Amino acid sequence: MAVLVTGGAGYIGSHMVLELVDAGEKVVVLDDLSTGFRWSVPPEATLVVGDVGDQDLVTRLIDEHGIDSILHFAAKIVVPESVADPLTYYLNNTVKSRALIEAAVTTGIRNFIFSSTAAVYGNAQADLLSEDTPLNPINPYGRTKLMTEWMLEDASKAHGLRYAVLRYFNVAGADPKGRSGQSTPQATHLIKVAAQAALGQRPHLDVYGTDYETPDGTCVRDYIQVTDLARAHLAALRHLRHDGDCITMNCGYGHGASVREVVDVVKKVSGVDFEVRYSPRRPGDPAALVAKVSRIRSLGWEPHYDDLEEIVDQALRWERALAERKAA
């Protein structure tokens, strides 16, 4: 059987494809390449350029390749952009996910793994957010993801589709073997942007908000390394394939770092004291998001890269590799 990975040419999706290929899986990638890159898909996987909302295309791929599982990463993910342009986010993240879920149901797909987000928790007031924390997203991005979680729950009850929802906290770093990383030029991930500032690819780093109710006034996030995250998906896939129950899981390390702390680590690892500019808060940013991760660990998942300096070093090395690729 084969696995369909939507958004498999993007940042997290490409790392998932690498892990699946390394595990000996047959992989089909469906990506419209709007933010992904053809070169990020390894030759062992089959790349199909198309729209995840195209049900006829998805149905044909499922039939042609004998797909039994879908891992759904394709989405728009920038919180401030979702506030400014919510309808585009509802189209890409909710409407097209609904089409994909319907294609999965009508073709008898057994397993569906969904890339969700900690943004579904909103401004939850808890030191650690468990999967049972009340859900109250404060931005359209989080709402679009929560709506897809609801659709999966209802489709499972009605049609027997087995699913796993993985709620990501802040994803960072790059493939330790240097095969993939965060490659979008205008990405907003803090560690990537700070790495670009350290390497002189940006004139400075903007920090948004210093008046949050956190120890140093800046946002606190739980940073999970991207290969560890991909391996969490593998654990979820094995769970479903062994007739495990539908499950929703946080993906993080269970501890956070503030924006100021991340900036200090990037300066230390890079050896560059780049300029930092402080600006007002961005709309839709919660003060702190840190995961309780006992549920994902119950599947046998253990992190291998839970070290902020190592994650930053991976990001810096990937930025240098991207610069060399562009110069070639």
For the annotated catalytic residues, the residue numbers are 141
- Letter for the amino acid at 225? Q
d(CA 87, CA 85): 6
Please choose, from the candidates 75, 67, 116, 111, the residue with its C-alpha nearest in 3D space to the C-alpha of residue 96: 75
- Round to whole Å and give the CA distance between 3 and 179: 20
Q: Is 206 left (phi over 0), alpha (psi -120 to 50) or beta?
A: beta
Nearest residue to 274 via CA among 159, 189, 194 = 194
- DSSP characters over 65-130: HTEEEEEE------HHHHHH-HHHHIIIIIIHHHHHHHHHHHHT--EEEEEEEGGGG-S---SSB-
State which amino acid sits at residue 98: R
